[in-house]
Amino acid sequence: MKKSIPFLLAVFLFILTGFDNEQVYYGPYNPVFMLRSEMEKNVKLEGPKTILNPGKIYLKDHFIFINEKYRGIHVIDNTNPEDPTNVAFINVDGCIDIAMKNNVLYADNAVDLIAIKLDEHITDIEVTKRIKNTFPEPVSPEGRELTWKERQAAPEEAILVRWDLN
């Protein structure tokens, strides 16, 4: 029996190498990347936008902050609870979570943690602090990570900021 082991191993290896069953599943979501420099300068205050894919909600004084998943934060003026008004949108790529202390809004900018200083009426914002690579890459809504082909195709300095539905 011992003498036949090398032969059996050789046959086994040939059998193993005769198949290629790898199936790469991409799913319904496609990754979207940004170069770091682009991502950092794209944190900006914009006019109000329609809420399409809401995430977490944060209440601070008379403002309501609603996360638009992977894209930013809606600012709702709730001075009159009978008639809340969508007043602004803070563009933060890759944002899925927010918190606030005093007049500083903390958010995840994809893999970075940033602190955004807001003025009283939210007419201007300033990124006062950025801690790079604090968070892992965002997984897709279905829970998958990047495949190796996706990693291979992405530019070296690119950061995954969101997943778009096909």
The CA distance from 93 to 32, in Å, is 10
Q: Which of 119, 142, 145, 164 binds other proteins (CB under 8 A)?
A: 164
Instruction: Please tell me whether residue 11 binds other proteins under the rule CB under 8 A.
Output: yes
H/E element, 100: strand 98-101
Nearest residue (CB) to other proteins, 36 versus 56: 36
The CA distance from 27 to 38, in Å, is 27
Please choose, out of 3-11, 54-62, 95-103, 111-119, the segment that lies near other proteins by the rule CB under 8 A: 3-11
Nearest residue (CB) to other proteins, 76 versus 162: 162
User: Tokens in use for 31?
Assistant: 């990754």
Instruction: Please tell me whether residue 158 binds other proteins under the rule CB under 8 A.
Output: yes
H/E element, 55: strand 54-60
Query: What does each C-alpha distance from 134 to 68, 80, 107 come to in angstroms?
Result: 20, 37, 11
Instruction: Please tell me whether residue 78 binds other proteins under the rule CB under 8 A.
Output: no
Closest approach, Cβ 45 to other proteins, in A, equals: 12
User: Tokens in use for 19?
Assistant: 């198949």
Q: Which of 22, 82, 83, 120 binds other proteins (CB under 8 A)?
A: 22
The CA distance from 141 to 93, in Å, is 16
Q: Which residues bind other proteins (CB under 8 A)?
A: 4, 7-8, 10-11, 13, 16-20, 22, 30-35, 38, 42, 46, 91, 93, 148-156, 158, 161, 164
